[in-house]
Structure 1
Amino acid sequence: MNNIQKRPLSDLGYNFIETTLPKGKDEYYLRNEQWSRQDQYRRLTAYEVEALVRNDNTSDDWNIIFVSNEFNPQLVQHCHFFGMVRIGKLEPYYLEFHNLRMPVGLYNSTICACDFGDNVVVHNVNYLSHYILGNEVIVANVNEMATTDYAKFGNGILKDGEAEAGRIHMELCNENGGRSVMPFDGMLPGDAYLWTRYRDDDQLQQQFKVFTEKQFDKRRGYYGMVGDRSVIKNCKMIKDVTIGTDAYLKGANKLKNLTINSSSDASSQIGEGCEMVNGIVGYGCRVFYGVKAVRFVMASHSQLKYGARLINSYLGNNATISCCEVLNSLIFPAHEQHHNNSFLCAALIMGQSNMAAGATIGSNHNSRGADGEIIAGRGFWPGLCVSLKHNSKFASFTLISKGNYMSELNINIPFSLVLNDEHDNRLKIMPGYWFMHNMYAIARNSWKYVDRDKRTDKVQLIEYDYLAPDSVEEMFQALAVMELATGKAWYAIAENAPKKELTEKDIRKKGKELLLNNPEEVAALTILATGMENSSREVQLLKVQKAYPLFRELIVLYGIKNIIAANKPSYLALQAAVKTAKRTDWLNIGGQLMKAETVATLKTKIKKNKISGWPQLHDAYQEIGKEYAADKLQHAVASLLEIKDLAIKNLTTAHLAQWLTDSIETMEWITSNIRRSREKDYKNPFRQLAYENEKEMNAVIGSLEDNSFINQTINDLEEYKTRVRQIINEWEL
């Protein structure tokens, strides 16, 4: 049966804190800490009490209704007050927002123990309890808006006297809770990533819990806050929610145990039919039209729309999920997921990703237990109706063609097209697909993510360039895979193959020789790879003879572009900056790239308490970000020299001058390919079927000549040429 308690009416609005109060404190002591204006209020005059009563207002004790000097009792009508209430300035104005015009004042509401700033609008609030409203706040047509004494506002903490079983966790990346974390206001993608990894390091995991606990007060009795100029209208239930300034909440069904961050330059909005429970909403977020979110964190400027479901998941900055269901996932910044039949479960998606319609990433019922995971590097793009099986892992910028992939995959070649060829019963992989066939998309994506990064507080330096330390390291790995597979393919049919058993080094050497000197011969081979699919069928690599030199050329370009970006005043200055250049492993920590050794140092500092809380860890992210350009330059030069098979001590000005000049040709090829890949959409006769003529097509989709991105790349090419010539002249190369 329902436990309905019956208490004296005189208790309503009092005894908010149910645990024992600290010595010398009353139930309002935390409320007074939150609202520093209590000294600006006075008691009501006899005239004001009379006016309030005449306007059909009631109070259990008019002596604890406090007001400012500019209080107008005529602007309070048909309200019932319980407990101590403080009311700021009320003047004869109306407030207007999005064509909603309402008079300043308190009308037709039941109010328990609340504080109000100046010129607030409170209309038809059936129950408003233990809230502090800032200046010029509008709250209209709300059924219930209340705060409990144990409110945690979405943070994964416990208040005094609460049992551990009541703690909120987010079960990220894995359905069995083995990677669960405690959500907290201000949680960055890097925090979530570090916490979900390294589960064998008990000391590190314990420190993350300590960080979270120490960041928040365990005392009971904090009130919900609504910041200045926030607007709340036509909502049903708002419970244990704290709201920043300039927020806009309209028509939400249920908002419970939340922090909704909002500010004048990054306002957040929650719209009709939304239900959100146990979570954190970041600055500048948009949540509209029937969204359901439970146990979640939305990083700043992310969006949920059109019935999206976000459960036990972290959504990174500048990401959008529309119509889809996302469960148990950690998603890094710049993720796009649309269409009503998409689904993503138990996944780590490392940003700059796009989920196509019908893509099923992680079925609940394809293994013996709910403990599988998908891990996808930057630029992950599963195509229409792709179905993947746990556990699978994908290198950066993997495009997966439409199909049902019945076995686990480990695709370790970046920039690939993955194809399930049912006719040949083979998994086929085309390395370098993006560069050969859709340069426009990959180049434009890198540009648009920078352009669309709306973060106002860029604590983590997020890398958006497709040529970066993480993807280049994967390209080196891919070169080794292609060399070995090519060597094996050649020896398998060679008439004069050596009779002794060949080592992997010998096979790779032969493969590299063929790929560099005999691409026509390689094109005639059937090149098979191993370890990429958990099945007995063959895995075939396509167009290896084209991808291999292209990867090498782009790694060189990566080196040269970073030398140019370093903007050193001379060749000697460059030498000094890269004298210890070496390739190292890199990790993607929430979209911020870090050397593996840097992450190891970070973990050590956390365990030794040299980093003693989340703010200090965030400071460390910023310090690492400041060193990123220098670290990236070291890696870029080391990568360049390795491709050129040259020791750094033997690097001369002649080498550098030649490579700079050669890079112009590579940039010209990229610029040409960007236009060519987009031009196919205009010249394809099937693309033209929807239009009567070319003029109509240009009116609908825009002309190729007016494409702003293509024109920008052409201008960038000219600037690049000018800069290369300038460096050659200035450095006297």
Structure 2
Amino acid sequence: MYENLTPNQIEELENNGCTSSDWKKVLVKQPLDCTRIRQVQFHGNIRLGLFESQFILKNGIKRDSGIYCATLSNCTIGDNCRIHNIQNYIANYTIENNVRIESLNTLEVEGETSFGNGVKVSVLDETGGRQVPIFDQLSAHLAYIIALYRHRDKAILELENIIQKYAEKQKSSVGVIGEWTIIENCKEIKNTKVGKYSTITNAHRLSNGTINSVKKAPVKIGSGVIASNFIVASGSEISDSAIVDRCFIGQGCKLSKHYSAENSLFFANCQGYHGEACSIFAGPYTVTHHKSTLLIAGLYSFMNAGSGSNQSNHMYKLGPIHAGIMQRGSKTASDSYILWPAKIGPFTLVMGRHYKNSDTSDLPFSYLIEKNDESYLAPAVNIKSVGTIRDAVKWPKRDKRTDPNKLDLVNCNLLSPFTINKMYNGRSILKQLQAVSGMTSESYHYMSTKITSKSLKRGIHLYSIGITKFLGNSVISRLHKMNYNKEMTIQEVLKPTSKYGKGQWVDLAGLITPKEVVTNFMDKIEQKEIKSLKQIKSYFEDAHNNYYEYEWTWAADLLEKELNKSLEEIQVSDVISLVGRWRDSVIELDKMLYNDAKKEFTLSSRTGFGPDGDDSVQIKDFEQVRGTFETNSVVNEIIQHIHRKSKLASDVIDQLKEHSTKV
């Protein structure tokens, strides 16, 4: 396909200001349009494609494909590329078809590189105790296991070896710029592999990295970006002078507005603006938008960081060795502070400054509040927050991933065996505190926090509501799935079909699954039954796809505990009673959410509206901006939810009564 230049072509190129150290090493596709190659210096082995098309820029401006004002060394240039105004040189790159590169200083591969694959990120522990090697296909779940399952040292070593083998295969002394990529007005790009349909504009420096862009989910790198030792997954964007060093940026992420991150992992749909991250594990939907916010040495997911949020990861003794865990759905209020190590339970709101090493992991949906330098915990109160429900609804809608090949398997369920098991444990803890300290105690102490008597009693009640709601949801779903009819006994319907599910569940940064499934995975890794990245991905996919089968196994076990009966002893009347309690719990919780939403429409909430008018102007201005309580979409959804669930409960109870003669 490639041929030597003819003497006439060499002469024409030289007349166009082109030179070569050896014209015999310049091979081309014929017919070559020499008019589209001007002021070019060729060094080493060169391959040139055809230049026949035009690029149409904004405002209808047209630019011919070709090579103009550039120095190329050991490069292959695909068909219909445009390379223009290269101030220094392009060296050791394969540039695929239809790529446009303009106004660039340097694009080079120097020596052999794996393009960021295999770089070890000191996540959580800045001293390197939990390093995660990054690579093109890294998922949140695999990273979680590598970082936090260090007690399974043989399995971790095997996983690191599998990743290292992949990184070795990526090594090359030649880089690739994928087809239909645009690179313009950039300074230095070194040892960086660029995927198809990427857009890199005004970047300052990219070094030792991979941009895994694809047509359906292109990657954008914008103005002033400095990135080194990195992997960027499909559909992500880094822009506005963000600085990234030793980081993995997952699918659908956006780091912008001077955000700074080092030794950190960001997974699906994370957003980082203005602030700073150091050694963090940002699971799916971790969001930080504020200039004064520092996230350091923490594990987060589905998390929103308030302005001025901060943590400390060392106590001036052995260095920055401490880390913290904020389990899924947690939030930090403005100017909050947490002293690591600490472990914050799921869907907890942290307000104030906390100087003690708290562990509230078994008391989810709480408020952790500072008062007079003491940490107060209000268990379960976040269950009745309309904001919590709003968050759970919005996450699936905010999935920015358009690549059909999803790296992270994300379960957005608010109520799951992971959270309900914690509610179950939390209710037991609160009852035990009450029993030990007495019903008349004004406050109770738990894991470096204080719980008031009122908060404790309310927590017990709210956890019971949450447990009943989940259990009712599961039973009703099971009845529908099994198509319960007169030909079946209730025991046949309730019997689990999966051996996995009982016991503890874990949240692998988005993937919710029984701990037994993870243990089995680690065993298979150690025994080398799983020995490839493809098999690892397949195992996680199976766990994700089987979630509801595993969930029912766990729910059936919980059902036995709540009813104090074995599955064989449970009667239709027991299920009817449960569905009735489920209906009551759903309605009670919805009424709490309704009242919580109403707070956004109180007199105090109208402060600041209609500043230059009287009360009528204030009300009118408020309604024009916020709407009315009666027309609010969230409020209406709560009302409709009450009606839907009430009807569902009635239908299920009627169905159970109709078929009860069989039982």
Give 1:633's match in structure 2, choosing from 539, 548, 552. Answer: 552
What amino acid maps onto 1:624 in structure 2?
A
Distance 1:555 1:420 in 2: 28
Question: Residue 306 of structure 1: CA displacement?
Answer: 0.9
Whether the aligned pair in 1 keeps the contact of 2:218 and 2:234 (CA below 8 Å) is yes
Question: Residue 96 of structure 1: CA displacement?
Answer: 2.4
Distance 1:96 1:128 in 2: 23
Distance 1:123 1:288 in 2: 23
Give 1:558's match in structure 2, choosing from 460, 465, 470. Answer: 470
Distance 1:84 1:580 in 2: 61
Whether the aligned pair in 2 keeps the contact of 1:426 and 1:539 (CA below 8 Å) is no
Whether the aligned pair in 2 keeps the contact of 1:584 and 1:595 (CA below 8 Å) is yes
User: Are residues 1:91 and 2:52 paired?
Assistant: yes
**Which stretch shows the higher mean deviation, 705-714 or 265-274?**
705-714
Give 2:249's match in structure 1, choosing from 289, 298, 316. Answer: 298
User: Are residues 1:283 and 2:239 paired?
Assistant: no
**Which stretch shows the higher mean deviation, 450-459 or 79-88?**
450-459
What amino acid maps onto 1:600 in structure 2?
T
Question: Residue 199 of structure 1: CA displacement?
Answer: 2.1
Distance 1:315 1:580 in 2: 33
Give 1:607's match in structure 2, choosing from 490, 503, 526. Answer: 526
Q: Give the TM-score of the pair, scaled to structure 2.
A: 0.91
Whether the aligned pair in 2 keeps the contact of 1:246 and 1:268 (CA below 8 Å) is yes
Where in structure 2 are the equivalents of 1:79-118 lying within 5 Å? 79-96=40-57, 101-118=62-79
What residue in structure 1 maps to residue 149 of structure 2?
A: 198
What residue in structure 2 maps to residue 451 of structure 1?
A: 397
What amino acid maps onto 2:354 in structure 1?
Y
Alpha-carbon spacing, 1:529–1:650, altered in 2? closer, same or farther (3 Å): farther
Whether the aligned pair in 2 keeps the contact of 1:581 and 1:638 (CA below 8 Å) is no
1:683-724 deviation line (CA, Å, top 9, x unaligned): 242443233433322333444445444444544554444444
In structure 2, the gaps of 5 or more residues are 485-489, 611-616
In structure 1, the gaps of 5 or more residues are 1-39, 157-167, 491-521
User: Are residues 1:211 and 2:129 paired?
Assistant: no
What residue in structure 1 maps to residue 387 of structure 2?
A: 441
Whether the aligned pair in 2 keeps the contact of 1:185 and 1:280 (CA below 8 Å) is yes
Distance 1:606 1:641 in 2: 34
What amino acid maps onto 1:618 in structure 2?
K
1:365-409 deviation line (CA, Å, top 9, x unaligned): 55543211111211121211111112111111111112x212211
Distance 1:355 1:702 in 2: 28
User: Are residues 1:526 and 2:442 paired?
Assistant: yes
Whether the aligned pair in 2 keeps the contact of 1:364 and 1:370 (CA below 8 Å) is yes
User: Are residues 1:129 and 2:45 paired?
Assistant: no
What residue in structure 1 maps to residue 306 of structure 2?
A: 356
Question: Residue 226 of structure 1: CA displacement?
Answer: 1.2
What residue in structure 1 maps to residue 536 of structure 2?
A: 617
1:84-134 deviation line (CA, Å, top 9, x unaligned): 222222115233268775322111111111112221111111211111112
User: Are residues 1:401 and 2:351 paired?
Assistant: yes
Where in structure 2 are the equivalents of 1:247-326 lying within 5 Å? 247-326=198-277
Give 1:657's match in structure 2, choosing from 566, 576, 585. Answer: 576
Distance 1:674 1:98 in 2: 51
User: Are residues 1:68 and 2:16 paired?
Assistant: no
What amino acid maps onto 1:527 in structure 2?
S
Distance 1:460 1:182 in 2: 17
Distance 2:379 2:293 in 1: 26
Alpha-carbon spacing, 1:332–1:545, altered in 2? closer, same or farther (3 Å): same
Whether the aligned pair in 2 keeps the contact of 1:562 and 1:633 (CA below 8 Å) is yes
Task: Specify which structure has the higher proportion of strand.
Answer: 2
SS in 2 for 1:435: helix
Distance 1:154 1:99 in 2: 38
1:38-62 deviation line (CA, Å, top 9, x unaligned): xx33332333323222221112222
Where in structure 2 are the equivalents of 1:238-253 lying within 5 Å? 238-253=189-204
Distance 1:219 1:627 in 2: 33
Alpha-carbon spacing, 1:630–1:647, altered in 2? closer, same or farther (3 Å): same
SS in 2 for 1:212: helix
Distance 1:382 1:319 in 2: 16
Whether the aligned pair in 2 keeps the contact of 1:430 and 1:541 (CA below 8 Å) is no
Question: Residue 572 of structure 1: CA displacement?
Answer: 5.4
Alpha-carbon spacing, 1:196–1:261, altered in 2? closer, same or farther (3 Å): same
**Which stretch shows the higher mean deviation, 333-342 or 586-595?**
586-595
Alpha-carbon spacing, 1:275–1:659, altered in 2? closer, same or farther (3 Å): same
SS in 2 for 1:113: strand
**Which stretch shows the higher mean deviation, 269-278 or 627-636?**
627-636
Whether the aligned pair in 2 keeps the contact of 1:122 and 1:138 (CA below 8 Å) is yes
Distance 1:44 1:726 in 2: 81
Whether the aligned pair in 2 keeps the contact of 1:416 and 1:434 (CA below 8 Å) is yes
SS in 1 for 2:568: helix
Whether the aligned pair in 2 keeps the contact of 1:357 and 1:384 (CA below 8 Å) is yes
Alpha-carbon spacing, 1:45–1:97, altered in 2? closer, same or farther (3 Å): farther
User: Are residues 1:411 and 2:357 paired?
Assistant: no
Distance 1:117 1:220 in 2: 22
SS in 1 for 2:130: coil
Whether the aligned pair in 1 keeps the contact of 2:468 and 2:585 (CA below 8 Å) is no
Where in structure 2 are the equivalents of 1:323-334 lying within 5 Å? 323-334=274-285
Question: Residue 679 of structure 1: CA displacement?
Answer: 2.4
What residue in structure 1 maps to residue 116 of structure 2?
A: 154
Whether the aligned pair in 2 keeps the contact of 1:68 and 1:88 (CA below 8 Å) is yes
Alpha-carbon spacing, 1:696–1:98, altered in 2? closer, same or farther (3 Å): farther
Question: Residue 153 of structure 1: CA displacement?
Answer: 0.5
Give 1:693's match in structure 2, choosing from 606, 618, 621. Answer: 618
**Which stretch shows the higher mean deviation, 710-719 or 355-364?**
710-719
Alpha-carbon spacing, 1:365–1:105, altered in 2? closer, same or farther (3 Å): farther
What amino acid maps onto 1:589 in structure 2?
L
Give 2:587's match in structure 1, choosing from 649, 668, 685. Answer: 668
For this pair of structures, how many residues does the alignment match? 641
Q: Give the TM-score of the pair, scaled to structure 1.
A: 0.83
